[in-house]
Structure 1
Amino acid sequence: MEESLNYTRIAEAIEYIQANFKRQPRLEEVASALHLSSAHFQRLFTAWAGTSPKKFLQFTSLEYAKWLLKEQQATLFDTTFETGLSSTSRLHDLFITLEGMTPAEYQNEGRQLTINYSFASSFFGTILIASTAKGICHLAFVTEEVIAVQELRAKFPQASFQAQTDHLQLQALQIFQHTQPDLNQIKLHLKGTEFQLKVWQSLLTIPMGELTTYGAIAQAINNPKASRAVGTAIGSNPVAFLIPCHRVIQSSGIFGNYMWGATRKTAIIGWEGAQVYGEKEFSKDHADGLI
């Protein structure tokens, strides 16, 4: 009975927020509409919706702002006003936090961006690597080069593209030639939400030859209950190998899925282990199991 009542309350809260988001209602207002205390409502909503009332309001506001900017070609000022935000700086912060880019960048879709791209060979297959003036923005293992370029263009629909190898790409590709490359010398230009960027940053701290779990990454970013969201963010990683999402496995020890193929993930993990621990030591430790 209580569970049914709580579900009804949260459904009413969602409807209230969606109907009144242009006024940017405060927590106390929504809680009062449900005849609950603010603290009780906060706990209840977070438990049922998987996010806080504030975050849900932000997501609702963001989606409306995106529609105004993209479909209506509204100005930043008009979008701010229509979304109920107090200033364009709040609109800017909303986009940076949840979308990983400024409102203008979202509206332009990379219109002022020039992207160089090229193909290269690696131990694990052909690679498409792309860069802006700021750093590497894309790296993927590919099978069909034409399709790979089409997918890259779809990520930055208004950008200018040129088939060209530059020094940023050459520097990044050294990771396939050295056991312990200096990642600090490799520049990245990433587009993602604040949460995605935190996850990707955490992946960069996993040493070569070592593995971790989705739960451990969630702990590392101080969000221990977000293992599933961590998995989604890892699955959105735009830069293969450089951002080592292949080093994250299930807590059961199963390697799990990989955007560029489970077999490739297994091969990369095995190769990195051999590079770090050495073929002789690896052979000695596992000889009994191979005879």
Structure 2
Amino acid sequence: MTHDNDINYRRIEQAIRYLEEHFKRQPELSQVADEVSVSPFHFQRLFTEWAGISPKRFLQFLTIDFLKARLQESRNLIEAAEAAGLSSQSRVYDLFTTLEAVTPQEYKQHGTGIQIEYGFHETPFGLCLLGVTARGICWMSFLQADEDVTQALHAMKEHWHNSVFHQDQELTKAFIGQIFPAKDRSQQKKLHVFVKGTNFQIKVWEALLRIPEGHVTTYQQIASSISNPQALQAVGSAVGSNHIAYLIPCHRVIRKDGVLGEYRWEPTRKKSILGWEMARQGL
């Protein structure tokens, strides 16, 4: 399954990699366009339509110095929210996504009796698989470069392996329209996710939801926020096992030295999402 939008996103990824690799010599637009096999005019338009800013400006968001400064800003924001108490915390964060977990009994039964509608859709970050239940979005994964739809579907079915699956492109398309609205984001509807995980994983995922768009945090900050500051490895594992990409924003967790680090759906995609979010925040 190959789509024009997915091909365009792969070009953007390729351009980001090239710009990073040749950052010191500041390649010209024509050189980047040549690398992704399109004309300079077409590449400039393609990238600016996607990010809202130029490729060079976009890359500034991904430098270690910028990300370190962003970490401090995020820490200050989160600490201020926590100091103000829970009632104002929700106003500070204005949580876009709310979370519900399976019950202990459902966890033991591995999803038995749960009906999941799914579909494959274009997003600003390439093709994704979306799974939806009556209780919320239960799966979102981006297809990787060497992955086909069968493999992506298998991963979802492994996670919810006793559930009943049915493809419904129209239903899931409506959710994609809510996740990535074409126009005014201020009118964006709140979304509800439905997760299956251990109590510890759920605490970590809830902490991820409190990281505002365009901000980043560290594994240490997440561990401290769930009152378990020594559990860095367990936090890293929980972040990596998140099964709802983008909405539970594990892409906003980076290393304390400002390095972005790994990402379940490819490291370059993590850079793409973070830079795209920061551009939308008008930084």
Structure 1 and Structure 2 fold alike (TM over 0.5): yes
Within a 5 Å distance, the mapping from 1:186-225 to structure 2 comes to 186-225=191-230
Within a 5 Å distance, the mapping from 1:63-142 to structure 2 comes to 101-103=103-105, 105-142=106-143
**Counterparts of 1:255 and 1:195, CA distance in 2:** 23
Instruction: Give the one of 208, 231, 234 matched to 2:236.
Output: 231
Aligned length: 179
Q: Cα–Cα, structure 1 residues 252 and 179, in superposed 2: closer, same or farther, change >3 Å?
A: farther
2:131–2:172 Cα contact (<8 Å) kept: no
Spell out, residue by residue over 1:215-264, the C-alpha distance to the aligned partner (whole angstroms, 9 max, x if none).
01111111111122111100010100001100000001100000000011
2:251–2:270 Cα contact (<8 Å) kept: yes
Q: Cα–Cα, structure 1 residues 207 and 180, in superposed 2: closer, same or farther, change >3 Å?
A: farther
Q: Cα–Cα, structure 1 residues 168 and 204, in superposed 2: closer, same or farther, change >3 Å?
A: farther
The list of structure 1 runs, each at least 4 consecutive aligned residues, that deviate by more than 4 angstroms after superposition, is 166-169, 178-184
Percent same amino acid at aligned positions? 39
Question: What's the counterpart of residue 269 of structure 2?
Answer: 264
Question: What's the counterpart of residue 246 of structure 1?
Answer: 251
**Counterparts of 1:182 and 1:251, CA distance in 2:** 34
Task: Give 1:164's aligned amino acid.
Answer: D
Task: Give 2:179's aligned amino acid.
Answer: I
Q: Cα–Cα, structure 1 residues 241 and 124, in superposed 2: closer, same or farther, change >3 Å?
A: same
Spell out, residue by residue over 1:97-131, the C-alpha distance to the aligned partner (whole angstroms, 9 max, x if none).
xx96424x245332311110001101111000001
Question: What's the counterpart of residue 67 of structure 2?
Answer: none
Q: Cα–Cα, structure 1 residues 222 and 100, in superposed 2: closer, same or farther, change >3 Å?
A: farther
Give 1 or 2: higher strand fraction: 2
**Counterparts of 1:164 and 1:233, CA distance in 2:** 30
**Counterparts of 2:234 and 2:187, CA distance in 1:** 29
Q: Cα–Cα, structure 1 residues 246 and 261, in superposed 2: closer, same or farther, change >3 Å?
A: same
Alignment gaps of 5+ in structure 2 = 1-100
Instruction: Give the one of 164, 175, 180 matched to 1:176.
Output: 180
SS in 2 for 1:277: coil
2:107–2:197 Cα contact (<8 Å) kept: no
Q: Cα–Cα, structure 1 residues 155 and 183, in superposed 2: closer, same or farther, change >3 Å?
A: farther
Deviation at 1:166, TM superposition (A): 5.9
Bigger radius of gyration among the two: 1
Deviation at 1:165, TM superposition (A): 3.6
1:131–1:169 Cα contact (<8 Å) kept: no
Alignment gaps of 5+ in structure 1 = 1-98, 279-291
Give 1 or 2: higher helix fraction: 1
Spell out, residue by residue over 1:185-212, the C-alpha distance to the aligned partner (whole angstroms, 9 max, x if none).
2111111111111110111111111111
Q: Cα–Cα, structure 1 residues 245 and 230, in superposed 2: closer, same or farther, change >3 Å?
A: same
Q: Cα–Cα, structure 1 residues 107 and 193, in superposed 2: closer, same or farther, change >3 Å?
A: closer
Q: Cα–Cα, structure 1 residues 205 and 184, in superposed 2: closer, same or farther, change >3 Å?
A: farther
**Counterparts of 1:184 and 1:174, CA distance in 2:** 6
The TM-score, its normalising length taken from structure 1, stands at 0.57
